[in-house]
Amino acid sequence: MSDKHTPNALLPDNIAALTAYSSAKSEKLTGTTWLNANESPYSRETSISLAALNRYPDPQPASVINRYARYANLEPEQVLMTRGADEGIELLVRTYCEPAKDSIALFLPTYGMYKVTADTHNVAVNGLTQELLLEGTVDDIVDAVGNAKLVFICNPNNPTGSLTSVEKISAIAKRLTDKALVIVDEAYIEFCPSHSATRLINEFANLVVLRTLSKAFALAGLRTGFTLASAAVLAPIRKVIAPYPVSTVVASIASEALSGDAITSMRRQVTILNALKEKLTQWLNASTSVLKVINGEGNFVTLKLADKSAFNRALEQGLVMRAFTLYGENDWLRISIGNEQELEQVKIWLDSLVPSNRSVKQDVL
């Protein structure tokens, strides 16, 4: 049957050309140890009331907004609650970019949703490199950004863990005043809080910070994120966002997660996870089955395997990690920092690789 007799004939070209975003969870993998989605190993109980669900929720629940503002050291009007940081990305593109005309800039390799969102909205992508962002001068970077409306800086960057200094972000924002919004995605900032760019929000009207409860706050299932920016940047986004984006249930749990005690316990967990990351990095550096280890910030470590089949060996052992193509090479792997037991599974897998490596080398000789 030809395409024109199917609903596909109705699709705009940019939608027909989309390939579905392959998130860590959409891949149909089976396993027992899940270290592929940068989730926290900690889960918590909640005791929320389910009364009053006959009423529509507060569109921007005051208790959550006030608590997050206090946590981020901002004013409540500088905080927008969204369904994950992913919705923040989408709202920025929908609000600030004109389809078929505007573009966004990003620094590869980086988080996949910026491009997916741009493609979905028929907005062009100016794909620059992390190398330019980290080693280039502010002049080089601003030149390369060209007339992109939105500039996404993932900090620390997923999946490389690299950090761009707040000074550099500040200089870029300054140069792009009235030209572009500089969006700093701080999904992993709790693992290196002194590097946050939120303090620049009061200084630059074009600076936006994205945050989430999915990583250090251990609430990936809740779908809660925050877009932090000047009230002037958020005002048009407030017109575009759905009328009741946040359910009453989500708001209650998010508010609980932002109590003083809960933030203290999150910080304690971060300390433990950062220490486990060091331990894992040492194991990886010592393994002959690993060629390179990128030990950056964030709750993950990214590495290049000596032999790609090691990934399948892990799956056979029930150990699920995230395979990546980086720098055109398909033998990279990202390991999320789980609990001690889960990382022990990684150690068992690493140790199981050594003999087969040796025998391969002997075969060659």
Ligand X SMILES: *Cc1c(COP(=O)(O)O)cnc(C)c1O
* 163 part of the interface to ligand X, by CB under 6 A: no
* 79 part of the interface to ligand X, by CB under 6 A: no
Question: Which span (81-89, 97-105, 121-129, 143-151) binds ligand X, by CB under 6 A?
Answer: 81-89
* 299 part of the interface to ligand X, by CB under 6 A: no
Size of the site for ligand X (CB under 6 A): 13
**Binding mask 7-46 vs ligand X (x if CB under 6 A, - otherwise)?**
-------------------------------x--------
- Strand, coil or helix: 46: coil
Angstrom distance (rounded) from CA 314 to CA 360: 18
CA-to-CA dists, residue 298 to 128, 187, 355, 360, angstroms: 22, 9, 31, 34
Nearer to ligand X, 159 or 305 (CB): 159
* 349 part of the interface to ligand X, by CB under 6 A: no
Which residue do the tokens 């369904």 mark?
83
Task: Supply the minimum distance, in Å, between the C-beta of residue 157 and ligand X.
Answer: 8
CA-to-CA dists, residue 8 to 2, 22, 117, 343, angstroms: 10, 21, 20, 46
Among 212, 230, 269, 345, binds ligand X (CB under 6 A): 212
Question: Which span (58-66, 79-87, 172-180, 335-343) binds ligand X, by CB under 6 A?
Answer: 79-87
Nearer to ligand X, 209 or 293 (CB): 209
Q: Which residue is nearest to ligand X (CB)?
A: 84
CA-to-CA dists, residue 362 to 138, 287, 297, 357, angstroms: 50, 18, 38, 9
Quick count: other Cβ atoms within 10 Å of Cβ 323?
18
Nearer to ligand X, 225 or 338 (CB): 225
Q: What is the 3-state secondary structure of 334-352?
A: EEECCCHHHHHHHHHHHHH
* 190 part of the interface to ligand X, by CB under 6 A: no
* 86 part of the interface to ligand X, by CB under 6 A: yes
* 187 part of the interface to ligand X, by CB under 6 A: yes
- Strand, coil or helix: 3: helix
* 119 part of the interface to ligand X, by CB under 6 A: no
Among 95, 162, 214, 287, binds ligand X (CB under 6 A): 214
Task: Supply the minimum distance, in Å, between the C-beta of residue 117 and ligand X.
Answer: 11
Nearer to ligand X, 324 or 349 (CB): 324
* 217 part of the interface to ligand X, by CB under 6 A: no
CA-to-CA dists, residue 314 to 22, 277, 318, 335, angstroms: 20, 19, 6, 11
Angstrom distance (rounded) from CA 76 to CA 138: 32
Among 35, 72, 85, 310, binds ligand X (CB under 6 A): 85
* 111 part of the interface to ligand X, by CB under 6 A: yes
Among 61, 225, 296, 338, binds ligand X (CB under 6 A): 225
Sheet hosting strand 124-129, strand order edge to edge: 79-82, 225-228, 207-212, 181-185, 150-154, 103-108, 124-129
* 296 part of the interface to ligand X, by CB under 6 A: no
**Binding mask 128-157 vs ligand X (x if CB under 6 A, - otherwise)?**
--------------------------x---
Angstrom distance (rounded) from CA 69 to CA 285: 40
* 189 part of the interface to ligand X, by CB under 6 A: no
* 90 part of the interface to ligand X, by CB under 6 A: no
Nearer to ligand X, 59 or 221 (CB): 221
What are phi and psi for residue 321, nearest 5 degrees? -125, 175
250, containing H or E segment: helix 248-257
Strand stretches in 213-318, DSSP E: 225-228, 290-294, 300-305
Strand stretches in the chain, DSSP E: 33-35, 79-82, 103-108, 124-129, 150-154, 181-185, 207-212, 225-228, 290-294, 300-305, 319-326, 329-336
* 326 part of the interface to ligand X, by CB under 6 A: no
Would you tell me which residues interact with ligand X (CB under 6 A)? Answer: 38, 84-86, 111, 154, 158, 185, 187, 212, 214, 220, 225
